[in-house]
Structure 1
Amino acid sequence: MNVRNLTPAHLQACLALDQASLGGLWTTAQWQSELADPRRPGMGLWQADNLVAMASGWLVLDELHITLVAVAPEQRRRGLGRQVLEALLAEARQQGARHATLEVGVTNAAAVALYRSLGFQDAGLRRGYYRNGEDALIQWLRLPPINDAEPGCG
């Protein structure tokens, strides 16, 4: 498996994984915008020619707002979400992000556990945030400066 930046050439793969994993969260037009905008980094984890996990976000000044993490249903509980999310956080740091934020459904125990294991902390609650009326936890993470994370530096 390998991780690489998502590009407009990956539109069909992103649409397919979005549909399989999230029930079609974004439209074709939304995906086209996501994949074309350099301030909206996206990372995909590929197994041969199959996109099995992806994560994307929006960079606003020094903050990464994580908009999506998806893993193919048959590939879940194997650490792929962590792998692609870590790649997205690393890419955002390279582009100058110092913080990351996201919303996650309060009942999505697996995702909440993943985010907390990466250091995200609860910062608030958005009532009725999702289409189904579920509340969302707002979570934040301070990203260490690049030099702090490199062996032998600091």
Structure 2
Amino acid sequence: MAVITLDPSWLADCLALDRSALQGLWTKEQWRRELEDPRRLCLGWTEAKTLLGVACGWLVADELHITLIAVDPSVRRRGHGKRLLSALLQQARQQGAIHATLEVGTNNLAAIALYANGGFQSAGTRLKYYSDGSDALIQWCRINASNS
């Protein structure tokens, strides 16, 4: 597993992974902004030059806001999401972040377990946060050596 920093040359690969893992959550323009903006971290997991996972977030002052973690459905449940989360937290810590936050669907039990394992705790709920009307948990953690 090689974790790399993604740049705009990975746009088509990110779109393809988004479609397979997240049913096309982000548009091409959203991905382009994510890959071009220097305040945003976007890491990819590759094997044999194939993008199999991504972890993205925004750095705002001393905080990382995690916007997306996705792993190709064919290789899930093997710890790759955990490694991507850890790499993202580590890179954010190296750039001065001391906290991380995210929103996760209340029905996304696999992601909730991933984040709990990474030290995240729920801080509240955003009602009807998603376009389908479902709620999101607001989660946060302090970034330290044990989770990054």
- Structures share a fold, TM > 0.5? yes
Q: How does 1:45-64 map to 2 (within 5 A)?
A: 45-64=45-64
Partner of residue 134, structure 1: 134
Q: Tell me the TM-score normalized by structure 1.
A: 0.92
What is the RMSD of the two structures over their aligned residues, measured on CA atoms? Answer: 1.1
Runs (4+) off by over 4 Å:
none
1:110 aligns with 2:107: no
Contact 2:71/2:80 (8 A) holds in 1 = yes
Larger radius of gyration: 1
Residue type matched to 1:111 in 2? A
Residue type matched to 2:63 in 1? E
Structure 2: runs of 5+ lacking an equivalent: none
Sequence identity percentage: 59
Partner of residue 67, structure 2: 67
Q: How does 1:57-96 map to 2 (within 5 A)?
A: 57-96=57-96
* 1:85 shift after superposition: 1.1
Contact 2:3/2:84 (8 A) holds in 1 = yes
* 1:49 shift after superposition: 1.4
* 1:143 shift after superposition: 1.0
CA distance in 1, matches of 2:85, 2:143: 13
Alignment partner of 2:38: what SS? Answer: coil
CA distance in 1, matches of 2:118, 2:4: 20
Contact 2:85/2:118 (8 A) holds in 1 = no
Residue type matched to 2:138 in 1? I
Instruction: Kindly provide the CA deviation profile for residues 28-73 of structure 1, in whole angstroms up to 9, marking residues without a partner as x.
Output: 1111111011110011000111111110001111110000000101
